[in-house]
Amino acid sequence: MIRKAVVPVAGLGARLLPATKSQPKEMLPVAKKPVVQYIVEELAQSGVRQLLFITGRGKTSIENHFDRDQALMDHLRQTNKGDLLAELDFEQSGLHFWYTRQSVQRGLGDAVLHGEAFAGNDPFIVALGDSIIRTPGDATICERMAAAYEERGAAAVIAVEEVPREHVSLYGIVEPATDGGVFTVGTLVEKPRPEEAPSRLAVAGRYIFAPVIFDLLRRVAPDACGEIQLTDAIRMVCESGRRVVGVKLEPAEKRYDIGSIPSYFETFIDFALADPDHGGRVRDYLTALLRA
Ligand code: G1P
């Protein structure tokens, strides 16, 4: 089982302005919870115990959210609102949180490099702070990836999902070297043009790495925007002869990307409809609204 996770949350969220002018995109509400709480809950369910956030300027509300707020709990008790205490149960997830800052925006690869001392000699998960993965089954995608990491002696494992051809230029795209739901990755390329994409299998915001990734990240040259791409370091893992494994999302599994306004709207609606207490009312409201 993998006990450590690195969650990069340093991005500016420019595509979600003005909502993200003074609050991190990872703290935008999706139904009742902020985006990042879904990710932390997924990681806790996957067996993670130590979690490092790679933060940046203006991200302190993430730290506040996961801190135990004794004053708020006392206030709820004293004002007869004890029933609301259950909403704070996530504070007792059993996770130990760490925070460090990426002061200069130098890309996802550079953000992950900030996790080197935290990871030490252990394998670790990287979970992007703006992607929620909803799993209806028992095993989370990270648990299935951890099993593949061990069974296949991999140096890196990547979650992938099939995307429409016209969307491949938004993602890292893998070239499978074998068939199946768990497969060997031949190579991968960051944000290819549709005509150059080796497949429609997109890197879906969850990774597992052996610590060798740090040596390779240090060798990646910055791209045209000055960013160190994590995808480039994973390609170097493939080229070094070490095994990189892809794990496909199950058909019933869904990835929600909070990186743009339309997908944020869709995500909010999906989770509001799925809310066990309020979903029915939302459904009635939307049905009536769309009929009118
Ligand atoms: C990043 C990665 C990309 C991956 C994507 C998933 O891109 O660089 O390989 O497919 O996340 O969301 P970004 O969305 O930060 O541009």
Q: pLDDT tens for residues 32-67?
A: 999 999 999 999 999 999 999 999 988 999 999 998
The whole-model pTM stands at 0.94
Q: Is residue 285 part of a domain?
A: no
Residues with CB under 6 A from ligand 1: 108, 128, 131, 171-172, 190, 202-203, 205, 230-231, 257, 259
pLDDT of residue 208: 98
- In whole angstroms, what is the distance from residue 246 CA to residue 213 CA? 16
Q: What is the pLDDT of residue 36?
A: 95
pLDDT at position 77: 85
Point out the ligand 1 atom lying closest to the alpha carbon of residue 171. 10
| Average confidence score pLDDT of the chain | 93
240 or 292: which leads in pLDDT: 240
Residue 194 lies in a domain: yes
Cα angle 101-104-109, degrees, rounded to a multiple of 5: 80
Q: How far apart are CA 24 and CA 54, in angstroms?
A: 13
Residue nearest to atom 7 of ligand 1 (CA): 171
- Does residue 224 sit within a domain? yes
Whether 92 shows a pLDDT value over 80: the answer reads: no
With cut-offs at 50, 70 and 90, classify the pLDDT of residue 80.
confident
Q: How confident is the model at residue 246 (pLDDT cuts 50, 70, 90)?
A: very high
Q: Which of 204, 238, 213 has the alpha carbon at shortest distance from 128?
A: 204
Query: What local confidence, expressed as pLDDT, does residue 54 receive?
Result: 97
Among residues 224, 185, 221, the alpha carbon closest in space to that of 202 is found at 185
Please determine, for residue 13, whether its predicted confidence score (pLDDT) is greater than 90: no
Provide the pLDDT confidence category of residue 168 given band limits of 50, 70 and 90. Answer: very high
d(CA 62, CA 60): 5
**CATH number reported for the structural domain that contains residue 118 in this entry:** 3.90.550.10
Percent of the chain's residues with pLDDT above 90: 83
Q: Is residue 134 part of a domain?
A: yes
Strand partners, 6: 52, 126
Distance 269 CA to ligand 1 centre (A): 23
Q: With beta carbons less than 8 A apart as the criterion, state whether 62 and 55 touch.
A: yes
Say what the pLDDT of residue 71 is. 85
pLDDT score, position 89: 76
- Closest ligand 1 atom to residue 11 Cα is 15
List the domain range (segments joined by +) for residue 107.
4-259
In total, how many domains does the chain have?
A: 1
Cis upstream peptide for 18 (omega within 30°): yes
Q: Which of 161, 171, 190, 244 to mutate to test the pocket of ligand 1 (most atoms within 8 A of CB)?
A: 171
What is the pLDDT confidence band of residue 136, given thresholds at 50, 70 and 90? confident
Domain membership flag for residue 267: no
Nearest to 146 by CA among 208, 203, 204, 95: 208
CA 203 to ligand 1 centroid distance, Å: 7
Is residue 287 a part of any domain in this protein? no
Atom 10 of ligand 1 has which residue's CA nearest to it? 171
Length of the chain: 292
User: How high is the pLDDT of residue 74?
Assistant: 84
Evaluate whether residue 274 is within a structural domain.
no
Ligand 1 nearest atom to the CA of residue 257, by list position = 12
Q: How far is the CA of 75 from the centre of ligand 1 (A)?
A: 41
Please indicate, yes or no, if residue 8 is contained in any of the structural domains: yes
Q: Report the pLDDT value the prediction gives residue 83, as an integer from 0 to 100.
A: 79
Residue 282: is its pLDDT beyond 90? yes
The pLDDT of residue 75: 85
Pairing of strands 156-162, 201-209: antiparallel
* Percentage, residues of the chain above pLDDT 70: 100
Give the Å distance between the CA of 162 and the centre of ligand 1.
Answer: 14
